[in-house]
């Protein structure tokens, strides 16, 4: 079991934490045939397998975890077949939510960010909250609203499968979006500076985290963020992540389908609930 | 028709919250016809279910129908009031006979007439069985639920005399355990004395009384109120002192209620449920005048409280289902 940092518990209780969910969270879901949404690696491998011949530079990029670069290559090769490929993996199977989605909802962060294209958590949160959860994509104009008020938000950082032509799937996509929708990314940078992030379901090599936190460490010199990562993971990687991205790594066992993460989150929900009760009793919010 | 009193000798156990939400669940979700009779002079059930305006309209008019209308004619030496006039409470999907603080004034009447009852006085018995008469005119309902105050006084005695069952909401403290023993002793004493009183009445005089004269109250179950918890090794656990008391409850309940008050039945789950700390949902429910499990965003629900509202619905579903199941078994 994860021993949760008391400071993290307190910050979640006070809603000073943004939860960032990656493809590992979606991988808990299955469709009616037991098929799971792919992670970065499995998606890219499957896309490569769909080619008649895979270029050497593509194989090399995947093996060296240069996922965005690999996406760039695949997107060019697949051309107009690319959108169908993405839809087949992320939308059509009709994935069902898992326990981990309920636990994330119950942590009751005011803002959840998702780098997932699927709508698993979107649909779940909207249904559970009787339609009061607000979903924002990176291109939405009124993004400033997330900075205040009691509403709960889900920010889709890389878009949604509903708008496949706006998905951020490569370096050029990302650079283009950051330039065109600078207000959104300004707010995201502000959230990174003013909140702690709890990152779930992202791998160490996933480009999402690298892109988001690239500028963070040197500008603010804080180590305020937490990322749950499956073992094995070596000390050098932990050290590097802390120093270069300001992220504290929380290792957990990936055995039995990452059950330790789910059960640890269940405990976290309970600890946060206790802490919220204490804050209410003391009126120390 | 089944009649159930929600009764504990100790106050502050969440009795009214429990009763009103169970009643609403029976009415809204199980489509039962439910009458709530607020027999507590503090009028908590009335206050929880009706809006401020409704309450002002009723109580500013001295001619409004309340529980006082049921009992007042008896103190004037007349017979039973002929007509019940409950009001409909759509948000809880129940009918309600409103409480009345003046009910406290009738404690003396009930007490004196009880003394007369156990001496075989027909007038005394008529007063003591007033709620039995009420119930015999509630045949159209599936359930009649009584909210009563936390005492072993005359009013509650009259209610318990008439009820088929009682449910005991319980807080997890030593005083609730002691209260259980009190209840058991009192009920058995009442039953004994009443049998003596009835045996002294001439048979032709019995026509003035309700048909059912025996004191057949049965224990239907208890609902525990969860208190302080701490998360230990990933699990929410009750603080140690509460844990000690919680472990005693089934045994004390069994010894005092089941063995002494109820028919011998197996396969009854007497623990109907455990009410968690509902925190802001209870005042939200009070403000909105709605059952907890029907609260929505317009009532103030936000974020993960939607999960708690859903948990509350599951909770009251469990309690209502066990009530129905236990009543079926005890009635067989």
Chain B residues with CB-CB distance to A128 below 8 A: 306-307, 310
| A13-24 per-position pLDDT tens digit | 999 999 999 999
Chain A closest-CA separation from residue B305 CA (Å): 8
Assess contact for A252 and A231: CB atoms under 8 A: yes
Cβ atoms of B187 and B261 closer than 8 Å: yes
| Measured distance CA(B38)–CA(B49) in Å, rounded | 11
Strands B235-238 and B229-232 turn out to be: antiparallel
Alpha carbon of A65 to those of A58, A169, A232, B34, B236: distances in Å?
Answer: 11, 14, 17, 65, 41
Given a cut of 80, whether residue B267 has pLDDT beyond it is no
Per-residue pLDDT band at B240 (split at 50, 70, 90): confident
Return the residue of B nearest to A109 by Cα: B303
Of the listed ranges B42-51, B137-146, B184-193, B288-297, the least confidently predicted one is B184-193
pLDDT of residue B230: 66
Which of A78-82, A111-115, B231-235, B327-331 is predicted least confidently? B231-235
Q: Do B279 and A106 touch (CB under 8 A)?
A: no
Buried b (16+ CB within 10 A) or exposed e, B142-178: bbbbbbbbbbbebbbbbbbbbbbbbbbbbbbbeebbe
Q: Average pLDDT of B130-153?
A: 93
Kindly state the helix (H) or strand (E) to which residue B2 belongs, with its residue range.
Answer: strand B2-6
Q: Which residue of B has its CA nearest to A126?
A: B303
How close B272 gets to chain A, by Cα (Å)?
A: 24
Give the pLDDT mean for B298-311: 91
- Chain B contacts of A1, Cβ < 8 Å? 233-234
Q: Which chain A residues contact residue B277 at CB under 8 A?
A: 277
pLDDT recorded at residue B234? 64
**Are residues B304 and A107, on separate chains, in Cβ contact within 8 Å?**
yes
Between B9 and A200, the more confident residue is A200
pLDDT, tens digit, 9 for 90 and up, residues A22-31? 999 999 999 9
Residues in A closer than 8 angstroms to B229, CB to CB, are: 274
Residue B317 has pLDDT above 90, yes or no: yes
Interface check A107 vs B, CB under 8 A? yes
From chain A, pick out residues whose CB is under 8 angstroms from the CB of B236: 270, 274
B42-84 pLDDT tens trace: 999 999 999 999 999 999 988 889 999 998 888 887 777 778 8
Q: Which residues of B touch A271 (CB under 8 A)?
A: 231
Query: Does pLDDT of B295 surpass 80?
Result: yes
User: Is A130–B302 a contact, with Cβ atoms under 8 angstroms apart?
Assistant: no
Model pLDDT, residue B227: 64
- ipTM associated with this complex: 0.75
Smallest CA–CA distance, residue B298 to chain A, in Å, is 10
Cβ <8 Å between A277 and B296: no
Is pLDDT above 90 for B120?
Answer: no
pLDDT for A116: 92
Contact A1 B233 (CB under 8 A): yes
Query: What is the SS3 assignment for B32-68?
Result: CCEEEEEECCCCHHHHHHCCHHHHHHHHHCCCCCCHH
B255 pLDDT above the threshold of 90: no
The DSSP annotation for B62-100 comes to TTS--HHHHHHHHHTT----S----EEETTTTEEEE---
B145 pLDDT above the threshold of 90: yes
Beta strand residue intervals within B216-301, DSSP E: 218-225, 229-232, 235-238, 271-275
Q: Does residue A93 register a pLDDT over 90?
A: no
**Digit-coded pLDDT (tens) for B270-293:** 999 988 877 789 999 999 999 999
Average pLDDT over residues A47-63: 92
* B307·A152 Cβ contact <8 A: no
- Smallest Cβ–Cβ distance between B307 and the set A106, A266, A267 belongs to A106
Q: What pLDDT was estimated at residue B174?
A: 85
């Amino acid at each position: 079991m994860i021993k949760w940092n008391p400071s993290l518990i307190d910050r979640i209780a006070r809603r000073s934490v943004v939860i960032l969910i990656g493809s590992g969270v979606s991988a808990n879901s299955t469709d009616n045939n037991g098929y799971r949404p792919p992670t970065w690696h499995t998606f890219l491998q499957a896309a490569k397998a769909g080619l008649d011949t895979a270029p050497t530079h593509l194989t090399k990029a995947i093996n060296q975890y240069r996922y965005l670069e690999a996406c760039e290559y695949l997107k060019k090769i697949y051309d107009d077949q690319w959108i169908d490929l993405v839809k087949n993996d992320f939308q059509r199977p009709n994935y069902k939510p898992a326990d981990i989605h309920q636990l994330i909802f119950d942590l009751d962060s005011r803002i959840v960010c998702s780098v997932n294209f699927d709508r698993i958590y979107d649909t779940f949160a909207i249904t559970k909250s009787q339609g009061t959860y607000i979903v924002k994509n990176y291109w939405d104009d009124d993004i400033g609203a997330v900075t205040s008020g009691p509403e709960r938000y889900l920010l889709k950082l890389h878009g949604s499968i509903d708008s496949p032509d706006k998905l951020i799937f490569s370096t050029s996509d990302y650079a283009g979006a950051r330039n065109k929708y600078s207000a959104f990314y300004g707010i995201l940078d502000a959230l990174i500076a003013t909140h702690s992030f709890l990152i779930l379901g992202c791998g160490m090599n996933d480009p999402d985290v690298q892109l988001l936190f690239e500028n963070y460490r040197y500008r603010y010199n804080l180590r305020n963020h937490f990322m749950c990562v499956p073992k094995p993971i070596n000390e050098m990687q932990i050290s590097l992540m802390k120093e270069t991205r300001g992220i504290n790594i929380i290792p957990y066992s990936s055995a039995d389908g990452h059950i330790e993460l789910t059960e640890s989150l269940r405990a976290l929900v309970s600890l946060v609930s206790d802490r919220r009760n204490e804050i209410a009793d003391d009126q120390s919010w | 028709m089944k009649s159930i009193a929600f009764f504990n000798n100790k106050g502050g156990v969440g009795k009214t919250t429990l009763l009103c939400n169970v009643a609403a669940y029976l009415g809204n979700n199980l489509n039962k016809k439910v009458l709530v009779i607020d027999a507590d002079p503090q009028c908590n059930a009335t206050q929880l279910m009706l809006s401020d305006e409704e309450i002002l309209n009723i109580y500013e008019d001295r001619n409004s129908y309340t529980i006082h209308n049921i009992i007042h004619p008896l103190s004037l030496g007349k017979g039973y009031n002929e007509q019940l006039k409950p009001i409909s409470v759509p948000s809880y999907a129940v009918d309600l006979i409103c409480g009345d603080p003046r009910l406290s004034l009738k404690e003396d009447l009930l007490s004196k007439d009880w003394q007369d009852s156990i001496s075989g006085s027909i007038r005394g018995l008529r007063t003591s069985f007033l709620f039995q008469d009420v119930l015999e005119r509630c045949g159209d309902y599936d359930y009649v639920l009584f909210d009563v105050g936390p005492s072993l006084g005359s009013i509650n005695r009259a209610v318990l005399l008439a009820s088929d069952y009682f449910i005991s909401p319980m807080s997890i403290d030593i005083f609730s355990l002691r209260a259980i023993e009190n209840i058991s002793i009192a009920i058995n004493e009442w039953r004994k004395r009443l049998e003596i009183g009835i045996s002294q009445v001439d048979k032709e005089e019995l026509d003035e009384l309700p048909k059912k004269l025996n004191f057949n109250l049965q224990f239907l179950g208890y609902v525990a109120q969860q208190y302080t918890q701490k998360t230990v090794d990933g699990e929410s656990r009750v603080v140690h002192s509460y844990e000690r008391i919680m472990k005693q409850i089934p045994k004390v309940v069994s010894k005092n209620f089941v063995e002494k008050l109820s028919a011998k039945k197996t396969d009854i789950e007497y623990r109907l449920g455990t009410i968690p700390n509902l925190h802001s949902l209870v005042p939200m429910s009070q403000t909105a005048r709605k059952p907890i499990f029907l609260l929505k965003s317009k009532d103030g629900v936000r974020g993960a409280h939607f999960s708690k509202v859903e948990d509350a619905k599951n909770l009251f579903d469990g309690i209502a289902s066990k009530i129905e199941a236990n009543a079926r078994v005890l009635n067989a």
